Amino acid sequence: MGERFILVNHIGRKSQKQRQAVLEVIRGDSQSKNYYVVSAFGEKSQWYQNLMNHPEVEVQ
């Protein structure tokens, strides 16, 4: 997805199903795998709420 976007695979907090979110990276380091991303809806974003309940993710 390049350096500007990442695909985050995560688990839905209610459904327990696999979910995906494409997030815009504002700062990142692929070696350390640390990324700062933008959330258009802040803490109300579904992906954000899912990650707060299930923080284990896979980043592509």
pLDDT in tens, the chain (60 residues): 567 999 999 999 999 999 999 999 999 887 888 999 988 899 999 999 999 999 999 998
Q: Are 28 and 34 spatial neighbours (Cβ–Cβ below 8 Å)? A: yes
**What single-letter amino acid sits at 13?**
R
pLDDT at residue 30 in the model: 78
**What single-letter amino acid sits at 58?**
E
CA distance 10 to 13: 9
pLDDT at residue 48 in the model: 96
Burial class (CB in 10 A: 0-12, 13-18, 19+), 59: middle
Q: Which helix (H) or strand (E) holds 25?
A: strand 18-29
